[in-house]
Structure 1
Amino acid sequence: MDPFIITLSILGVVILLTAWLPMVLKRLPLSLPIICLLIGVLLALSPYPLLPRFNPLENRAFTERMTEIVVIISLMGAGLKIDRRIGLRRWGATWRLLGIAMPLTIGAIAVLGTHVLNLGAASALLLGAALAPTDPVLASDIQVGPPKTGEEDEVRFALTSEAGLNDGLAFPFVYLAIAIAVSVKDGTALFQEWAFVDVIWRLASGIAAGWAAGKLFGMLSFRLRGRGLAKTKDGFVALGMTFSIYGMTQMIQGYGFVAVFVAAVAFRAAEREHEFHEQLHDFAEQIERLLMMVLLVCLGSIVATGPLLAAVDWRVILVAAVTLVFVRPLSGWICLAGSGYPAGEKLVISVFGIRGLGTIYYLSYATGQADFEGANIVWATALVIILTSIMVHGVAVTPTMKWVDGVRSKSQKPMERPSVH
């Protein structure tokens, strides 16, 4: 039988499951990513595997581009769904997670990479930088609800806003790892170039470009009388905004991930109550979910065949366990100390930092820019952490969020929250 026809049939089933499974899994202790991985494993063991076998180690460019696309679409959707106005106090947990928890996580994982996995400085830093960001693609079950639904408690808001920004903010550390791997400069020159270009310029231009683009698209959508983009009621506008903002920001050497999320937040601020936000968010979410399912099915199929995990040994398992059980939870708990949040909320925010496609993107990008010592060990460690995170967090998220909602609803005197408006 024609392999293409078989693949087309399988793809059709996956697309149908994209629409159907979220309704079925809503009340079950399972997540869509878990089902995708299991489908991939079953396909790998069946006589009818998917036509393409995209091992990311052998098809780095394809892996980089596909994960890049799904991450930027997810970032646009995450920005559009946030109701809360930006501010130092309103986004207090976000700034703590980005400014304290993420650097602590990068440093701790880099130390584990050096002393447990015996990686060099560049490879250890790359491992830490790639694993530090929480994933905006796989965390839909713990994110805020669609625009204007009011589903924006502190836990969901903190995890959504963190995932929206930390994918871009991890990039300076990835660039530092690349620079260390390829550099022949002395340490002072290396650090100066990294600080001024990869940190200051790329971050500043990404934020500025994103904010300006969001305001511009807001004006084009809501301020042009009778001819605004909002009049089209077409969800494709979300893709157009995402790709154009990301591409133009990358052209000026800014961080496109940061720009896309900032643009979505600025666009939302242009006219908060318009129904067009819901249409854009829903379309972006559907495209994101479809691409995510296809990639995770392929990942599950590849993992089942074995080569990606060939480098896994006790050291890799130890680093994965310490990272998931201690590094992220402790970093999150430390950064939220003195925040005033109840212990239960701090624990959930600290623990539920799911890792996923963003990590795969960073590894694909970095290994295409330089040769990293022990790259197979870095990949194996990251994949074990991703797979474990998907399984553990996917099973725990539904009962955990029900518990959080139940505790909040029973509270007689809930803690005063920053206003979202």
Structure 2
Amino acid sequence: MAQPLDPTKFNLALLSLGGLLFFYALLSRFFKQQLYLSAPMFALVLGIFWGPVFHLFDLHAWGTQELILEELARLAIAVQLISTALHLESAYPFKHWRSLAIIIGPLMLSMWAISSLLVYVILNVDPWVAILIGAVLTPTDPVLASTIVTGKFAEKHLPDRVRHLLAAESGLNDGLAYPFVFLPLLMVIPSYSDPIAHWFSVIWLWDVGAAIVFGLVLGYFAGKLLKWSQRKKMMDKQSFLVYMVAVSFVALGGVKLIGSDGILAVFMAGVGFDLVVKGSERSEEENVQDALDLMTTTTMFALFGLALPWQDWLSLGWQGLLLVIAILLLRRLPVFLLLNRFIPHTKGYLDALFMGWFGPIGVAAIFYANLAAHKTGLHEVWSVVSLVILGSVIIHGISAVPLSIFYQQNISDQTNSKLPVKKRNSGIGNRE
């Protein structure tokens, strides 16, 4: 049974989290460019020290671990998705739908199939459990992707076409992973008499379809209302800076209340907002979104470090380590190389190698794994997925800076792509 939170522990948590943010913000460029240590990696390491090493905090004492991680991950994804949409050029998904159709179609389906097959073969679990774990591991994470594609370092070393396509993919496939996860969920949960019919009629038509429509409409009218308020001089600067944060929360909570996919709705709300509010008008919004993004990212990965199931990993044995290596190498890169010729937005094999490698697994997988665990009681889902997430955070985090430098030095097209470049204000949100 959950115990009341000790006020002393609460103050210690505030001190620890504040110290984490303070220390990383103070030395962020040094950590990222000299030590190759991103904010998620830094927070993860500290979370491990706070929990398994020194036993300062225990998530189980605060409530049900699955629900805590699921809801906080949902919030972190929402903040990052709206930030991702703001960083893209206006109407990006509509202008580059051909490239995105390949990436969220054949590529995403292949990633699901390959991940499921690897889990089934290496861990020898029930086929539907393997398909469920494979679905959880499918989406590329917008939180980890943002550490690769945003900030001055990324703008200097990577062309816009690479940064924007990776960002848009991570924004879209987080929400579109929802039906992938729910197909095996419906097959595992015995209460559904006709799971396939429910999957098509409810999950696809309502949960996904309604989320796209409601998100776009909400974002579009939020942009219209913002412009009306500014035209009438009814909004001050402070309110402007939190406006899109409020829109993301309305989309996340409101769409979820009607039983639809809140995560997909948040990203589509950002896309709808972009159709109305142009880049020069929303530069201030980006800064406050980036600052909030850093706070939610570090908090989420610190809690992830607290929740790592070390004993479960030991029971997986060498097969667990083999699965991590196989997923990181085979889940995405080979298929991206094969599909590269059909993606109009990429130029040459270096684009394909870089984007094929950087498909990080992070907060989205935390969300879906805990959602699956509490709905099915299959705790092995969290054991397997958390190990792969840890491997992705470490490997993709360490390789981001050197591979970005390698890409810049070897790409024949040294100049940036012709996509419109958004001028960024120098501020706390402009991560180095």
In structure 2, what is the equivalent of residue 290 of structure 1?
Answer: 295
CA spacing shift, 1:116–1:407, aligned 2, 3 Å: closer
Deviations 1:130-169 (A, max 9, x none): 10001111222322459xx898612111110011010100
Counterparts in 2 of 1:330-369, with a 5 A limit?
330-339=334-343, 341-369=347-375
Counterparts in 2 of 1:68-87, with a 5 A limit?
68-86=74-92
Partner Cα distance (1:16, 1:128) in 2: 37
Partner Cα distance (1:80, 1:89) in 2: 15
In structure 1, what is the equivalent of residue 39 of structure 2?
Answer: 32
Moved more, 33-42 or 394-403: 33-42
Counterparts in 2 of 1:14-413, with a 5 A limit?
14-28=20-34, 29-44=36-51, 47=54, 49-54=55-60, 59-86=65-92, 90-144=96-150, 153-183=160-190, 189-224=194-229, 225-227=231-233, 229=235, 232=238, 234-275=240-281, 277-303=282-308, 306-339=310-343, 341-372=347-378, 375-376=379-380, 378-408=381-411, 411=413
In structure 1, what is the equivalent of residue 426 of structure 2?
Answer: none
**For the Cα contact (< 8 Å) 1:143–1:160, is it kept in 2?**
yes
TM superposition shift of 1:397: 0.7
Aligned length: 409
TM superposition shift of 1:114: 2.3
TM superposition shift of 1:54: 4.7
Partner Cα distance (1:55, 1:345) in 2: 46
Moved more, 1-10 or 343-352: 1-10
Letter in 1 for 2:360: I
CA spacing shift, 1:56–1:118, aligned 2, 3 Å: farther
TM superposition shift of 1:368: 1.8
Higher helix content, 1 or 2: 2
Letter in 1 for 2:22: L
SS in 2 for 1:17: helix
Letter in 2 for 1:387: L
TM superposition shift of 1:346: 0.6
CA spacing shift, 1:5–1:339, aligned 2, 3 Å: closer
Deviations 1:252-276 (A, max 9, x none): 332211111111122122121333x
Partner Cα distance (1:100, 1:8) in 2: 44
Deviations 1:326-347 (A, max 9, x none): 1211122233233362100111
TM superposition shift of 1:26: 4.0
Deviations 1:283-324 (A, max 9, x none): 222222112212222322443x83352433222222221111
**For the Cα contact (< 8 Å) 1:310–1:380, is it kept in 2?**
no
CA spacing shift, 1:55–1:115, aligned 2, 3 Å: farther
CA spacing shift, 1:45–1:263, aligned 2, 3 Å: closer
Partner Cα distance (1:366, 1:46) in 2: 28
**For the Cα contact (< 8 Å) 1:206–1:255, is it kept in 2?**
yes
CA spacing shift, 1:273–1:60, aligned 2, 3 Å: closer
**For the Cα contact (< 8 Å) 2:123–2:319, is it kept in 1?**
yes
CA spacing shift, 1:367–1:5, aligned 2, 3 Å: closer
Partner Cα distance (1:86, 1:72) in 2: 19
Cα RMSD of the aligned pairs, angstroms, is 2.9
TM-score (norm 1): 0.87
CA spacing shift, 1:230–1:104, aligned 2, 3 Å: farther
SS in 1 for 2:316: coil
TM-score (norm 2): 0.85
Partner Cα distance (1:142, 1:101) in 2: 20
TM superposition shift of 1:227: 4.0
Identify unmatched segments of 5+ residues in structure 1: none
Partner Cα distance (2:351, 2:29) in 1: 26
**For the Cα contact (< 8 Å) 2:332–2:356, is it kept in 1?**
yes
Partner Cα distance (2:61, 2:341) in 1: 42
Deviations 1:223-252 (A, max 9, x none): 342246575553221221011112222233
Identity %: 23
